[in-house]
Structure 1
Amino acid sequence: MSDLCLTHIHQYWKQLTIKANKKFDNREIKRSLPLYQEAMYRAEVLSYYVAECNRLKLPFLQIYIISCNNLANAFIDLGHVFKAEKLYKGVITYLLSLKNNEFIDQKQWQSELRKASLVYLSFKKNNYVNLLN
C-alpha cells in the first residue's frame, strides 16, 4: 500500500475516533459504536502493514490497542461484556503475534503487553459476575 494511503487511513482513523469519543463522552453510546467500529477497521488495515507504518512512524500498535479498548468500553456500557472480553483478548493475541517482529521495538512491545494484560485482568475482576451469567 502506498505511503499516501497509509497516511490517509491514519488521519481518517483519528477523525473517526475523535467523533466517536465525543458521542461516547456525551453518553450517546449507541451512536458512538458504528464510529468506533469504522475506526477499528482502519486500525486493522494499518496493523497489516507493520514495516510500512514503522517506516512512516505511524503508531499502528497504539492505534490498534486504542481502537480495541474504545470499542470494548462501548460494548461494556451497552451490556455486551462478552464482546468486550473478546476485544481485550484480541489485543493480547495481536501483541503476542508480534513477538520478535524485527520492526517492533521489544521494550515498547513488552510495555504494551503488560498494560494490555492489566487492562484485561481489571476487566475480568470488574465483570466477573456478568461473565458467569
Structure 2
Amino acid sequence: MCESRLKHIENHWKAKTEVSNALFRKGDYEQSLNGYRDALDHAKILNTYNKEATRLNIPFVQLFAISCNNIAFTYEEMKMKKKGSKMLKRVIYFLLTLGGNSTVNSDEIQSELKIAMLNYTNYAERNSLQTQNITKVREDVEEHLTLID
C-alpha cells in the first residue's frame, strides 16, 4: 500500500479516536463505541501492512491496543463487562501472536504485553470477573514467554 494511503489511515484513526473520546467524556457511550470500532478497523488495516507501517513510524501495535482498550472501557460504562473483558484479552493474544514477527521489536511487544496484562487484571478485579479467567490468561502469557526465551 502506498505511503500516503497508510498515513491517511493513521490520521483517520487519530481523528475518529479524538471525536470518540469527546463523546465518551460526554457520556454518549453508544456513539463513542461506534467511533472506536471504526478506529479499530483502521488499526487492523495498518496491522496488515505492518512492515510498511514500521518503516513510516506508524505505531500500529499501540493503535490496535488503544482501540481495543477504548472499546473495553466503553463496554464497562455500558455495563457490558464480559464484552469489555474479551476486548482486553484480544489485545493480549494479539501481542502474543506478534512474538514471532521479525518486523516488531520484541522489547516493544514485552512492554505492551505488561501493560495489557495490567489493564486486563485491573479490569477483571474491578468488575469481579472470575479469577480462573485471569489465571488462564496469565498461564498463556507465561507459556508464550517461556517459548521465546
- Match in the other structure for 2:147: none
- Match in the other structure for 1:45: 45
Asked if structure 1 preserves the Cα contact closer than 8 Å seen for 2:124 and 2:130, the reply is: no
Q: Which structure 1 residue ranges, 4+ long, deviate > 2 Å from structure 2?
A: none
1:5 aligns with 2:1: no
Q: Give identity over the alignment, percent.
A: 34
Alpha-carbon distance between aligned partners in 2 of 1:31 and 1:60, rounded to the nearest angstrom: 24
Displacement of 1:29 after TM fit? 1.2
Task: Compare 58-67 and 45-54 and name the one that shifted more.
Answer: 45-54
- Match in the other structure for 2:77: 77
Q: Where does the alignment leave 5 or more consecutive residues of structure 1 unmatched?
A: none
Asked if structure 2 preserves the Cα contact closer than 8 Å seen for 1:81 and 1:130, the reply is: no
Higher relative contact order (CA 8 A, sep 6+): 1
TM-score w.r.t. the length of structure 1 is 0.93
Displacement of 1:50 after TM fit? 1.2
TM-score w.r.t. the length of structure 2 is 0.84
- Match in the other structure for 2:97: 97
Displacement of 1:129 after TM fit? 5.3
Displacement of 1:43 after TM fit? 0.8
Alpha-carbon distance between aligned partners in 2 of 1:81 and 1:10, rounded to the nearest angstrom: 29
Letter in 1 for 2:91: V
Alpha-carbon distance between aligned partners in 1 of 2:73 and 2:27, rounded to the nearest angstrom: 12
Query: Secondary structure, in 3 states, of the residue corresponding to 1:104?
Result: coil
Query: Secondary structure, in 3 states, of the residue corresponding to 2:27?
Result: coil
Task: Compare 26-35 and 57-66 and name the one that shifted more.
Answer: 26-35
Map residues 12-31 of structure 1 onto 2, 5 A cutoff: 12-31=12-31
Aligned Cα root-mean-square deviation (Å): 1.5
Displacement of 1:15 after TM fit? 0.4
Aligned residues: 131
Displacement of 1:42 after TM fit? 0.6
- Match in the other structure for 1:65: 65
Q: Where does the alignment leave 5 or more consecutive residues of structure 2 unmatched?
A: 132-149
Displacement of 1:130 after TM fit? 8.7
